[in-house]
Amino acid sequence: MNHKGNRESRVSKDTKDTKDSKDSRVVRSAKTHQTDKKNQPHHSGHADQHAGKFDRRPSSQSPSQPKSSSSQSRSHAPVGARDKAPNRHEERMEYRTARRSQLHAQGAKNPHAAVNTQRLEGSAGADSPGAERIQKVLAREGLGSRRDLERLIYDGHVVVNAVVAQLGDKVVPGDKIIFQGREILFDKPAGTPQILVYHKPPGEICSQKDPEDRPSVFDRIPQCSEGRWVMVGRLDFNSCGLLMFTNSGELANQLMHPKYQIEREYAVRIFGELSDEHIDRLLKGIRLEDGFAKFKSVVFGGGEGKNRWYNVVLTEGRNREIRRMFEAVGFTVSRLMRIRFGTVQLPSTLLQGKRALLPDNQVVKLMDLLNQQNDAVEASSVKMHIHSQKMQARKKS
């Protein structure tokens, strides 16, 4: 009995000591909290504001109150029973819709724009003569790329004739365009771009600056009367033939972009004669250091002695691509001359080192070719999209 009483007394004493230590720790923490609170600067307004911003508990429950049993049980509830997180994409779309309605009601906050919620019709119709898409006109004014301007149009930053513009709208000369509060003058459509044809001789570089101070093709090019000259493609130092310049950067990019598949034709002189096997390899394609390359056509062009001429066609313009392709099949190119770019032929009367402006009818013909190629690219992309959708539907089924 004595042992039992001693054991109970020791347990009660240990329990008392533990309780006293806990109470002391609580008192110390309370004092520390009061000291820290005194040392902190007084920003009651900001503190309340931040507390309301980040506290996700109901307003009826103060931060000091413990969580209710329902909230505790909810934290352990399955995922399907919890509230779904807000969809950020839907929130952005709702904001844009509300913003567009606000801009329509306020005339895009532009003092020059009256309240008018009608769609652009007569002057901006697709069938109107000289009509152009708004982003194209603004890009020509140097206000940004078409893609960036499309975003600004979508967000309601462009007003045409007191109406907030939408993607797909067109403008004609005389329309009043307000771009972010700035009036844009659109008095005439874009004229036919200029194209300068130059017969490049060997021994000239296609660059304006050269550390070795070699002759440049720009030394013989006159100053452009409207804008500046943009070179369409390049020819290496030892190559010669057709070289084009235009004052339209958009046209130059389209002519050089591989997706448009614009043909370039070259006259190539090699030492030796190609066999059928060599021609077959060049047409099927050769693996080069920078990727796969092939000719669209290879036609024998005659020759004397051991030299042979071939006319080759390809639809891209990589650095020394033709020379590297012939080297891959064991032949060295001794002369390379470009004779055609798209629909533009090197004039037989144009001597080396001379230039000439391309007639407007040939410029229009070249632009028509680009439009056809663009339609073909869009049709191909649509077919690929439909095919991918069918494949995805098959996988789901």
What are the residue numbers of the active site? Answer: 236
What is the DSSP secondary-structure string of 276-324?
Answer: HHHHHHHHH-EEETTEEE--SEEEEEE-STTEEEEEEEES---TTHHHH
Exposure string of 148-184, with b = 16+ CB inside 10 Å and e = fewer, is ebbebbeebbbbbbbbbbeeebbbbbebbbbbeeeeb
Measure Cα distances from 277 to 176, 288, 300, 303, 314 in Å: 63, 18, 14, 20, 19
Residue 249 DSSP label: H
Distant-in-sequence, close-in-space partners of 286: CB < 8 Å, separation ≥ 6:
292, 293, 294, 325, 328, 329
Which amino acid makes up residue 116? N
Taking residue 366's Cβ as centre, other Cβ atoms within 10 Å add up to 22
User: Which of 267, 264, 262, 263 lies closest to 311 in space, CA to CA?
Assistant: 267
Task: Return phi, psi of residue 392, to 5°.
Answer: -65, -40
d(CA 213, CA 231) in angstroms, rounded, equals 20
Task: Return phi, psi of residue 49, to 5°.
Answer: -65, -45
Asked whether the beta carbons of 269 and 308 are under 8 A apart, the reply is yes
Alpha-helical segments (H) within the chain: 2-39, 44-54, 69-75, 88-106, 134-140, 146-154, 249-256, 276-284, 321-328, 360-396
Task: Return phi, psi of residue 136, to 5°.
Answer: -70, -40
Asked whether the beta carbons of 336 and 325 are under 8 A apart, the reply is no
Residue 242 DSSP label: E
Element (H, E) at 196: strand 195-200
